[in-house]
Amino acid sequence: MLNIIPYPKFAKEKSGAFSIDDNQGFKSDFDLPLVEEYFSASDNANIVFIKDPAISKEGYKLTVDEGEINIFSSGKTGAYYAFQTLKQLIDGKKIPCCEIEDEPYFSWRGINIDESRHFFGKEQIKKVLDYMLFEKLNVLHWHLTDDHGWRIEIKKYPLLTEIGSKREYTHIGGWKSFKKENKPHCGFYTQQEIKEIIAYAKERGIRIVPEIDFPAHSISAMAAYPYLSCFEEEQEVIGYFSWDYPKFRSLDFRANKTLCLGKKEVYDFVFSVLDEVCALFESEYIHIGGDEAPHSEWKRCEKCQKVIRENNLKDETELQGYFENKVFAFLKEKGKIPIGWNEIASAENLKSKECGAVIQYWTRNRDINAENYVNSGGKMILSNHQCFYFDMPYARYPLSNTYCYNPADYGVNSENLSNVLGVEGEFWSEWISDKKKLEMQMFPRIQALSEVGWLPAEKRDLKDFIQRWEAQKPMFEKLGINYAKDEIAFASNKHRAKILYKFTHGNPYLEVELNDKIKEQRR
């Protein structure tokens, strides 16, 4: 068995092995600086990258013989994917002889990193991009704005980062804890830093899709510019994460807010922000959020109610649809395709298909509007909570939930599977504040995610995947990556109920601590 993750579309093992020289070289039809980090470029090398336009964009063919290795691809991305396969096959200084023909099942194989709740910074994001390339993932959905911090420089609105990127405290201890750490948390990316990260990702075949969250999850913007809210009250950048619980509402820290959809200046702000975002990011997709928008302020706001009356809207749901339609039209003029969370599909007046808008399906409960959307021709990204919310403890969603994912279980008819762009894992960072936990939540979940994106459900085998993951563990140990041990990843340990309770009520880091104990016991 070839210990490759994700497993190739076709693979055949042969006898013998290719021996890696001490001064191993390669030659290529492409400029491959990432390969040069391992092997030197040489016209006489016996590892050869060959351009073949007939191969799909992310596909490759790989033949390993005792005397040479030939890699065929139509571009750099396929060449790099073949090289990741080679790196996984290396055993000492040997690579087993084999033939591989490979290409992904889904075109969108992504992860979402939330930097509003906790800011990780440029070097950590680059490391995440390196991890993504190794697992042949190709989309970084970058959640840059939310209630808890605005992380992207917008030159027209400097207060978004001067004020909106800083909070004075942070909620700790779990969703139903009332503890807070009275320590400032801040950070943002300049546009120059973002360009640097985009270039880093592009070399690795990774598209970066920014998310700028409107009309809810915008409190950090309202803290900077109070006129964006319905009632123009002074607002702090909040540090609590659990505003939707009744007991938190009683604290009255004014977290249940949305942008006012009855003011022209709010639309001017949104379009101006998106104008800079569109100019900065090369991606044809822009994520505009749209989830969890409460209606309470819109119901009380005379300006919002006037928009409802004058445009013959049924209610506040259609008011949000009216707003989204304007954003969609703006993005279409910019040559961009909008993405929104599946709640936006509930507005009957939403004109999403006209501009090719993509719905991202995340909710724990089935959403008939989202399912009707994809089954009637709309495009969709699948991020269903039970399988792809990687911020959740393994005790709640074990690794098998991800690996055994089948779109049919979430209402996507087989004949409409072509409307699905792909799959995406979510790393919301309320309870991920450091590299150590980020890595444990990430590995081996992103390996399972990658294989879901690479192979259809009927071609996947959990037992086989586990064996291949077991064979790769020494490589992760050598790299010092804090992956989840099996007792944690498969959530079969006796601490499961305790972990779930503590995650909500006291210690969201309990799995990390247990993982450390398991590692210590095995030394």
Catalytic residues: 146, 217, 292
Distance of alpha carbon 307 from alpha carbon 304, whole angstroms: 5
The values of phi and psi at residue 234, to 5°, are -65, 140
Token pair 């989840």 is at which residue?
Answer: 484
Q: Is the distance from CB of 390 to CB of 447 less than 8 angstroms?
A: no
Q: Is the distance from CB of 209 to CB of 142 less than 8 angstroms?
A: yes
Distance of alpha carbon 13 from alpha carbon 96, whole angstroms: 8
What stretches of 250-302 adopt beta strand conformation (E)? 285-289
Q: Which amino acid is at 57?
A: K
Residues 6+ apart with CB under 8 A from 83: 32, 34, 35, 71
Calculated CA dihedral for residues 238, 214, 409, 6, nearest 10 degrees:
-80
SS3 call for 385 = helix
- 247 by Cβ neighbours in 10 Å (0-12 / 13-18 / 19+) ranks as exposed
Distance of alpha carbon 345 from alpha carbon 332, whole angstroms: 18
Q: How many residues does the chain have?
A: 523
